Amino acid sequence: MGLQWEGKSFIDNLPKIYGVYTGGFLVFFALMAIGEKMGMSAAAIGISFVAFTVVIYAFIGILSRTMAVDAYYVAGRSVPPVFNGMATAADWMSGASFVAMAGGIFMSGYPYLAFVVGWTGGYILVATLMAPYLRKFGCYTVPDFIGTRYGGKLTRFCAIVVLIVASFTYVTAQITASGTIAARAFLIPFEWGVYIGLAGILVCSMLGGMRAVTWTQVAQYIVLIIAYLVPIVWMSGAQGFGWFPQFQYGPAVERIIELEPMLGVGTAAAEQVPGLGVLTTLHAEPQAGALAAWQFVTLAFCMMVGTASLPHILMRYFTTPSVKAARNSVAWSLFFIFLLYFSAPALATLSKLSLMDPNLASSIFGKSIAEVEALSWVRNWGEVGLLAIRDSNGDGILQVNEFFLNPDIIVLATPEFAGLPYVISGLVAAGGLAAAMSTADGLLLAMANTLSHDLYYKILDPKAETRKRLLTARVLLIVIGLAGALVASMKLTGILGAVAWAFCFAMSGLFAPLVLGVWWKRANRQGAIAGMVFGLAAGWGYLLAVRGGMEPWLGLDHLRFGVVGVVVSFVAMIVVTLMFPAPDEETQRMVDEVRVPRGETIIGRS
């Protein structure tokens, strides 16, 4: 008899199932390590890691297939808090967190810690302002909540538009990350890699919807957290800082501070390489001045408020059995996310020291350019256009400002340039792919679900049969995924930049109607529409103006345009709400009841 991916017995056996899965993955890792010792090629190891994990995710996705509406949209509302916390962490820790964040800290130092602060702090807002109350409401999607709370098809439609803008921006970054990893693992052009990555993503989500995505995301979290922590611990031990790098990498920071002036960090490059940069920012020194402090605070603010506005994260809390479980699930999410974010600065520091410290065999600065160019990892990343060396002063010796790289490769390339066994590189590639796939799954599902449920079923064809609704959702999943892959293949922007834009779009249009929908029962339909329309228009317009050459207001550049959008959104919603009558008594009683984070779900209880 086949394994049933639903029901009480399945839920009760989850620890055992994922325990066996984790053990199996570690056995596979050990077999690859033995294979490397016996002469297995690096290419074969990389392909094996990526192929093995994708097949496992696809297997789970196929086993979780369903034609039940509740299972497809909200995983049957049966996901225990611990496992929903793991799935949310995987949903949250995208290619930006796994692949790009440590690279940002590596290249730009202290200021990029604003991402860590904001992304972690955002869960405080989710826990206190959103998750338990949205779960109490009992909706399927974020536009479902807004459309039901405020009433009216136009309200629901505005929420759909904001969700699509934010989620599509976000998903292109995740497909970019998966394409980068697939291109490196299979040694194929990036433009092909994005479609291979997309194929893996669709297999996981298309047949089983939220149920399939949930169980694959738990599996993906296990892979990505192992892949992120192993190289850090290995490097820290090998460099003599101890086996708990998160608490012991302080001397590594001090060593970098000592080496930076000796190596000339801060000297601008004499020439430019499109898409790549050199180290010019000191690792641990905050930028001086009130403007720098303001930009740190506003970037962290955008990431926090954006976190509490992202539909694919909020809809994860619709899958828990109860309101209490939703609240507990947020705490577990924060814990699982903390494990990675607490480690990212250590990874960036140890990686940088590997390249800088002349006492380490892995150092490259001050060595002959011919010697560095002969290194396999330099050749491999150079061939895919993500790393370059220029002998600008013609002395044949590599200087810091002659070494160009894309920050997105730091996490993926660290095992290679730190001299770790290649099996670690394969492990990290599998982890990066898991991170990108898990978030892309959640985003594609959020968009397809809202178009099939909120636009098609609630607005266009309320009498549609269940089979037709689910078929529509699956077709939309493929169409949106192909559109995302097409945009990703154009390489319009970097991973971290695209993610920051998605956060700003979401907070510009959704934060005010979500928060006020729970905490201000006077908020009405007209105000909600004004908040979404004016907020998104103001944020988007400001972004276009800044990108077009306008001088940013108060240092609010293209990564921080959400500040403008959310302020306009709140002002518009409050002013317009006060211009029109309050909602009826029934709606106000419903809002009062939503704010009690216990009891039965409101929608569908009668």
Q: Could you report the per-residue pLDDT of 518-553, keeping only the tens digit for each?
A: 999 999 999 999 999 999 999 999 999 998 889 988
Do 96 and 496 contact (CB within 8 A), yes or no?
yes
Helix (H, G, I), strand (E, B) or coil at 405: strand
Q: What are the tokens at 214?
A: 């949930």
> Which residues does 552 contact at the CB level (< 8 Å), separation at least 6?
546, 558
Q: What is the pLDDT of residue 312?
A: 80
- How far apart are the C-alpha atoms of 352 and 110, rounded to whole Å? 14
Do 159 and 150 contact (CB within 8 A), yes or no?
no
**For the chain, domain boundaries:** 41-595
What amino acid occupies position 600? E
Q: What is the pLDDT of residue 140?
A: 77
- How far apart are the C-alpha atoms of 264 and 434, rounded to whole Å? 37
What amino acid occupies position 121? G
Helix (H, G, I), strand (E, B) or coil at 252: helix
Cα radius of gyration (the chain) = 24
Q: What is the pLDDT of residue 225?
A: 94
Helix (H, G, I), strand (E, B) or coil at 310: coil
Q: What is the pLDDT of residue 108?
A: 83
- How far apart are the C-alpha atoms of 82 and 15, rounded to whole Å? 10
- How far apart are the C-alpha atoms of 129 and 139, rounded to whole Å? 16
Q: What is the pLDDT of residue 1?
A: 44
Torsion sign, CA atoms 143, 149, 155, 156? positive
First to last CA, the chain: 37
Q: What is the pLDDT of residue 208?
A: 65
Q: What is the pLDDT of residue 606?
A: 42
Q: Write out the CATH class of domain 41-595.
A: mainly alpha
Helix (H), strand (E) at residue 404: strand 403-405
- How far apart are the C-alpha atoms of 377 and 380, rounded to whole Å? 5
Q: What is the pLDDT of residue 291?
A: 86
| Segment 22-65, tens digit of pLDDT | 999 999 999 999 999 998 988 888 888 888 888 888 888 788 87
Measured at the alpha carbon of residue 508, what is the angle toward residues 525 and 582, in degrees to the nearest 5?
20
Helix (H, G, I), strand (E, B) or coil at 415: helix
Helix (H), strand (E) at residue 389: strand 387-389
> Which residues does 6 contact at the CB level (< 8 Å), separation at least 6?
66, 71, 76, 78, 211
DSSP state of 596: S
| Phi (first) and psi of residue 77, to 5 degrees | 50, 50
Q: What is the pLDDT of residue 206?
A: 67
Q: How far is CA 399 from the centre of its chain?
A: 34
- How far apart are the C-alpha atoms of 304 and 15, rounded to whole Å? 32
Q: What is the pLDDT of residue 137?
A: 84
Mean pLDDT by 10 residues, the chain (606 residues): 62 90 94 92 85 85 78 83 91 76 85 85 85 83 90 91 89 80 74 81 72 88 93 92 91 94 90 87 80 89 90 82 85 90 91 93 93 91 86 93 88 87 89 82 81 83 81 84 84 72 93 95 96 96 91 89 96 97 92 82 62
Do 261 and 400 contact (CB within 8 A), yes or no?
no
